[in-house]
């Protein structure tokens, strides 16, 4: 005998109509018995497809049991699997770049940029996560195509769009030259280096200067004559500054962790996305997907040993951000640290090296 499948249906089902239709569909029935709530019978596995049609016509809730393995075969399981595949497959496909669009001013530029993207290994059917950083792609395109001033990138789902912008037409204009000037010190310090375009040094290296002193002359002396040339360039000097700080004894530092892929229902979407991924149109009304940035919070209780680990790096970063580019911190000394009333107070002495030269118009 063929393998049998046990069928369980509610006892209130119209059994006469059911067995009439099973007989009409040439479905053999075995081992019929009933309980107070259910009717049980078995059919052959080969008749399962025909039985499904009868069951759908009569709209009967059914539970099937494979008698060889005692495994339950539920019609609802197929629906669950189908819905899962309907969601998972589009999400997986959205991780790839399937289309690359070049939106430039001419077809020739489209072809050239497309070929350049291939050279840097950007092409269809690649993982979105394998895309190089936008700044790296932009720099390589702009170095080769001088006619562009900027390149904009947009990734929508599985489509990657490159939109180069033409550089504006430059018109010649007369540049008014500034009046001739000396270079003077904007603050006191010890001269360490010169980086001059023109001008004559008024002081030498390792010499102390005060604020307002002339450090580069804007003229050249030839005998009794002075020829005005102006002074231009940078003069570096070192000086000490004293920096005071006050921090709470307990601090919380937040640092970024790994990014995770997350799918959320739109109604319950609470976690903001670092980078959102466009789902297929049928799913966009119900779900959102993308990468979220997880952060790790660490709590620290400051003490005198925390100076090297936390306080000094934070102060140095703040100081460098506020000063002109090229500024360096050459040395530092801790003068004082005290902990009182849940506060950490202290003073740090810093040796700074920066360009102290500023122009002063020659009378």
Mean per-residue pLDDT for 118-125?
A: 84
Mean per-residue pLDDT for 25-36?
A: 82
On whether both 352 and 223 belong to a single domain, the answer is yes
Residue 153 sits in which domain range?
A: 96-166
On whether both 47 and 182 belong to a single domain, the answer is no
Would you say 55 and 27 are in contact if contact means Cβ atoms under 8 Å apart? no
Q: State which of 178-182, 231-235, 263-267 shows the largest mean pLDDT.
A: 231-235
On whether both 235 and 338 belong to a single domain, the answer is yes
pLDDT of 268 reads 65
CA atoms of 217 and 203, how far apart (whole Å): 10
184 backbone dihedrals φ, ψ, rounded to 5°: -120, 165
pLDDT of 169 reads 60
Supply the CATH number for residue 31's domain. 3.30.70.260
Of 118, 142, 166, which residue is a domain's last? 166
On whether both 242 and 325 belong to a single domain, the answer is yes
Would you say 307 and 334 are in contact if contact means Cβ atoms under 8 Å apart? yes
Residue 240 maps to a domain: yes
Beta-carbon neighbour count of residue 245 at 10 Å?
A: 16
At residue 76, does pLDDT exceed 60? Answer: no
Residue 82 maps to a domain: no
Of 166, 186, 212, which residue is a domain's last? 166
On whether both 238 and 326 belong to a single domain, the answer is yes
Segment 149-198, tens digit of pLDDT: 677 788 777 788 888 877 666 565 665 677 888 899 999 999 999 988 88
CA atoms of 64 and 71, how far apart (whole Å): 8
**From residue 162, how far is each of 117, 145, 147, 275 by CA, in Å?**
10, 14, 15, 18
At residue 84, does pLDDT exceed 90? Answer: no
Residue 98 zone, left/alpha/beta (φ > 0; ψ -120 to 50; rest): alpha
Predicted model pTM: 0.42
On whether both 183 and 214 belong to a single domain, the answer is yes
């Amino acid at each position: 005998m063929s393998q049998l499948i046990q069928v369980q249906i509610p006892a209130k089902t119209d059994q006469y109509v059911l067995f009439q239709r099973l007989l009409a569909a040439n479905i053999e029935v075995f081992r019929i018995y009933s309980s107070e709530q259910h009717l049980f019978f078995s059919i052959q596995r080969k008749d399962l497809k025909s039985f499904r049609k009868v069951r759908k016509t009569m709209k009967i809730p059914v539970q099937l049991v494979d008698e060889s393995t005692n495994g339950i075969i539920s019609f609802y399981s197929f629906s669950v699997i189908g819905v899962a595949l309907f969601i998972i497959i589009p999400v997986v496909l959205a991780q790839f770049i399937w289309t690359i669009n070049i939106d430039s001013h001419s077809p020739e530029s489209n072809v050239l940029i497309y070929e350049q993207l291939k050279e840097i290994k950007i092409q269809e059917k690649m993982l979105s996560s394998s895309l190089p950083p936008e700044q790296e792609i932009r720099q390589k395109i702009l170095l080769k195509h001088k006619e562009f001033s900027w390149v904009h990138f947009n990734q929508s789902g599985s489509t990657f769009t490159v939109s180069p912008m033409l550089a504006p037409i430059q018109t010649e204009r007369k540049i008014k030259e500034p009046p001739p000037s000396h270079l003077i010190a904007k603050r006191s310090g010890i001269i360490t280096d010169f980086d001059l375009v023109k001008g004559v040094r008024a002081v030498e290296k390792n010499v102390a200067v005060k604020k307002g002193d002339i450090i580069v002359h804007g003229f050249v002396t030839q005998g009794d004559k002075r020829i005005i040339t102006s002074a231009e360039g940078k003069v570096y000097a070192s000086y000490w500054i004293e920096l005071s700080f006050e921090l709470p004894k307990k601090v919380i530092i937040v640092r970024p962790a790994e990014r995770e892929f997350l799918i959320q229902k739109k109604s319950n979407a609470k976690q903001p996305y670092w980078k959102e991924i466009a789902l297929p149109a049928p799913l966009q009304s119900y779900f959102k997907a993308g990468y979220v940035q997880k952060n790790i919070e660490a709590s620290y209780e400051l003490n005198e040993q925390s100076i090297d680990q936390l306080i000094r790096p934070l102060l140095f970063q703040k100081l460098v951000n506020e000063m002109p580019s090229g500024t360096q911190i050459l040395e530092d000394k801790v003068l004082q640290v005290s902990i009182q009333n849940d506060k950490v107070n202290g003073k740090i002495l810093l040796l700074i090296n920066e360009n102290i030269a500023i122009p002063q118009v020659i009378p």
